[in-house]
Structure 1
Amino acid sequence: MKDQCHKIPDQKQDYLKDIGTLLVKEHGKQQHYKPKQIKEAHNNSKWASQLDFSCWAMSIFSTKYDFDIYHEKVGEVCDYISMKAEMLKGVSGATAEQWSTIPDMDIDASWLDLETVFDGISEGFSALISGIFDGL
């Protein structure tokens, strides 16, 4: 059994934009994607030649249930909530102007589920982020 997932990507924001764009292009706009779809998106991305960061994308684009089942099957011990929070730290510093430069970004931001990540502290924050994505 492996102890933990691979190293987190250094360029979290770029990685999530690329994987999200590939997921929407291949599977349409969905609230969540299956780990297999996320893994395929990673393998078809420019990131495929680097370490396999796909489990980090799974913490953003899949449900906790699917994430946990996937990691149980592959024998990795990974924490959905802490990984999602860590990935979102890379995204949270981005300005609306930076997000607006993403061409053809049409992603439903409801999967962010930030209230779960921050234990309800940031009530309404996911609506704000969702509004940013909807405005693009």
Structure 2
Amino acid sequence: MQPADKKALISDVGEKLVRRHGKQKHYKPAQVRRAALDAGYIVDVHCWAYCFFCSAADFLTWHQARGETCDYAAMKVELARDLAGETGSFWFDVDLSWLDWPDVDLSSIFDWFDVSP
């Protein structure tokens, strides 16, 4: 996915999750899947939403149950770079919830609600 497409996915899925389940640090994969489907995204791109909105443990469990191997840390760092527009050196704590990202301005992605915890 291109960075702009990832931003749209995260914004659309995030809005549905918050409207349905309230603002949470992490959502369950089934909640993310339903939000992504309802937003009109094909299953092939849901993994980006899982890595953004689910805990690392839930992400891993979801993929293992399906016999898939996805690298949570690598995907989350790539997603953080794309969302932040970073191109140079970039430090990022992959264990942080989407609500706790300290140095990444998400206001352009989540302009539909206040992302401050």
TM-score by length of 1: 0.63
1:85 Cα deviation from its structure 2 partner: 1.1
Q: Which runs of 5+ in 1 are unaligned?
A: 1-8, 95-113, 118-124
Q: Which residue of 2 aligns with 1:62?
A: 54
Task: Identify if the C-alpha distance between structure 1 residues 130 and 32 changes in structure 2 by more than 3 Å, giving closer, same or farther.
Answer: farther
Contact 2:32–2:50 (CA<8 Å) still a contact in 1? yes
1:19 aligns with 2:10: no
Q: Which runs of 5+ in 2 are unaligned?
A: 87-91, 108-114
Moved over 4 A (4+): none
What is the aligned-residue identity percentage?
Answer: 33
1:93 Cα deviation from its structure 2 partner: 1.4
Q: Which residue of 1 aligns with 2:70?
A: 78
Q: Which of 93, 99, 102 is matched with 1:115 structurally?
A: 93
Q: CA RMSD in A?
A: 2.3
Q: Which has the higher helix share?
A: 1
- Report the AA paired with residue 38 of structure 2: N
- Determine which structure has more spread, i.e. the larger CA radius of gyration: 1
Task: Identify if the C-alpha distance between structure 1 residues 40 and 128 changes in structure 2 by more than 3 Å, giving closer, same or farther.
Answer: same
**How many residues matched?**
98
Alignment of 1:1-136 (within 5 A): 9-10=1-2, 11-47=5-41, 50-93=42-85, 114-116=92-94, 126-129=101-104, 133-134=115-116
TM-score by length of 2: 0.73
